[in-house]
Amino acid sequence: MSYDLAVYTSRAASTEELRTLIAKSTGLAVEEGTDRSFTVVRGVRRRYCFTIDGPVVVEAEDVPEDVAALVLGARFLYSISVEGTIESEIPHATRFARRLAEVLDGASSDQQSGEVWSRSRSRMIQKPERHSRVEVLKLRWVCLRDEMKPDAASIFLDTARHILPEALPRRFGEYEPFQGKLALDGEGGFRRAWEESILSLHTSGTVPCLGGYLSAGPSALRPDAFWSLSLDFLAEPIEDARWQVAIRHLFTALADQLPAFYASAEVTGGNIWTGRSIWVDGETEWGINPKAREGWTGLPPLPTWWTWLGHPYEQYFPFLPVDRISSTARGVLYEGSSEPSGPSQLPHLSEWLPADLFSNLAPNPHSVRPAPLLHAVTIPTVLRERGG
């Protein structure tokens, strides 16, 4: 029998750092240990106090939701146990667990009571000044409607909750003001709203996520062969590597699970921050949407920061530069640069992939937005037959 505490952190301490932290804790000392396990004693008599094991690398899906909501990028787990029935040592173990969580920017979870303690400020960001122009990162996933999983709304909720709670639909609806609230209507309410939507279901997130939309579900008024999901983020916070890792994980996880055949992360400038949302005007850069009303136009004519490709583009994976790609469960992620970047700062995928896979900008004398596209010469058969 033991009393157990779990400490989830965004970074791992070195063995020496952990030993030093124990030594600086009043009355504690290391009795014995290895690189991954310490027995901690207390007082002059060196009475057994607790055992600490770790760190163990954990996947985002294995981090408890209440911890994920407090700590950005929790990747490591320390287990602290008071072995036996020595209740007098529990407060000392609890204090050390909280100290460890504070030093490593994490959270301590009491496995008996469920209480979570944290002083992490990792999820807090500095909002832009009102009416300033900002860059926005738009994530977009495109799926074949007849191949995507029918519980797409639940997949979106579950993935966001475990990886990036800021992307959860705080409010939602087909038109403004949004009538749905996740806190009141719950997951069931959100799923029903999506299943009953006839156009697109729009969402509001929590900064840095501004919100997005899901194409209508089974009740779509005019369903086409292609279904899409989109989320917008303020780009500046993503310069922090922890935000970048979390958003990349969300990006690839949704691409794999929906599943998508194409996904992109695109940076646009000149957006106007109102203090709560984004507005656009004639100076705002618009993204390129390769999913047009008439179907799939091909890979976009301008480069995007990230590109994820799945079936039926797998035959082209070997052409991509190995130092810029990573494999996922159902596809491959191409990263154009190490930081969020607009198209003018990025190499074009046509440096490696055949040029005939890409659409082209159509003549646009009236500056229609988004810009109209001319279809690519080569579109994979399964996409072309569905209206590409």
Q: Which of 262, 269, 254 is nearest to 376 (CA)?
A: 262
Using only C-alpha atoms, what is the Rg of the chain? 24
> Locate tokens 């990230």: which residue?
306
CATH for 2-118 is 3.30.310
Say which amino acid occupies 102: E
What pLDDT score was predicted for residue 370?
A: 86
Tens digits of residue pLDDT in 68-124: 999 998 999 999 999 987 889 999 999 999 999 999 999 999 999 999 999 999 999
Are the beta carbons of 78 and 7 closer than 8 angstroms? yes
pLDDT value for 84: 84
Bridge partners, residue 7, by sequence: 78, 108
Half-sphere exposure of 253 (CA within 13 A, CB side): 19
Which is nearest to 78 in space by CA: 96, 92, 90, 66? Answer: 96
pTM score, whole prediction: 0.91
Residues of the chain with pLDDT under 50: 388
Q: Is there a contact between 219 and 241 (Cβ–Cβ < 8 Å)? A: no
Q: Tens digit of pLDDT for each residue in 204-259? A: 999 999 999 999 999 999 888 999 999 999 999 998 999 999 999 999 999 999 99
Q: How far apart are alpha carbons 63 and 81 in whole angstroms?
A: 19
Distance of CA 107 to the CA centre of its chain: 20
Phi and psi, residue 191, nearest 5°: -60, -45
What is the reported pLDDT for 366? 86
Contact at 8 Å (CB) between 120 and 74? Answer: no
What are the domain boundaries of the chain?
A: 2-118, 133-384
Scanning the chain, the segments in alpha helix (DSSP H) are 15-23, 65-68, 90-103, 152-163, 182-196, 241-257, 381-384
pLDDT at 60: 85
